[in-house]
Amino acid sequence: METYLTIKESKEAELTEQRSRFLSYVSPAANKEEADAFLDKIRAMHPQATHVCWAYQIGAPDNPTSYYSDDGEPSGTAGQPILQSLKQKELQNVVLAVVRYFGGIKLGVRGLIDTYRAAAQNVLETCQTVEERAKEELTFSCSYPAYNTLLYKVEQMEGNIVSPTFGEKIEGRIIIPRVKRQELENILSDLNGRR
């Protein structure tokens, strides 16, 4: 898979059902660490919440993995409907949490499934989706005269140079779309051949 759909930025929404409040939060997350950090932040924002249920799909494009949690709701009534909402939109590298404040009226299994799904879809409707390309990271070393050419070529390939260090030579990392790897290797070889 060379491309995948994700969301551009974090969003939030609210839904009320039978006096229970459902607060939905969604964010991009490239890996488990980013997803867990986002969930920790949501839990810290809502220490009095009855439940903080969530799902995420991470690891795209090479190792897509899904996780979810019902956080004390009956099994299958919260995390799975949230995850299904992400899958329905074909979103990857996204984490979605739904915070519930119990309002005193039980919703039943069907009611919980429908409400968690609605809460997830509610926040996803506010998101702008973007198509991301699989990326590769390469290291480089080049002369000062070659650096401006390299910078220009990397920008043309929709990549970027990360953390360059300026010593006897310029060294750093380049992140580019995976499909451009061979082209970049040829450019680096040519630039280093020129000195």
CATH of domain 3-131: 3.30.230.30
**3-state SS of 115-172?**
HHHHHHHHHHCCCCEEEEECEEEEEEEECHHHHHHHHHHHHHCCCEEEEEEECCCEEE
User: What per-residue confidence (pLDDT) applies to 132?
Assistant: 86
In the predicted model, is pLDDT for residue 137 greater than 50?
A: yes
Average pLDDT over residues 125-131: 94
User: What per-residue confidence (pLDDT) applies to 91?
Assistant: 94
Whole-structure pTM value: 0.75
Architecture of domain 134-194: 2-Layer Sandwich (3.30)
Average pLDDT over residues 115-138: 92
The model's confidence at residue 193, banded by pLDDT at 50, 70 and 90, is low
The model's confidence at residue 166, banded by pLDDT at 50, 70 and 90, is very high
In the chain, where the domains are located: 3-131, 134-194
The model's confidence at residue 195, banded by pLDDT at 50, 70 and 90, is very low
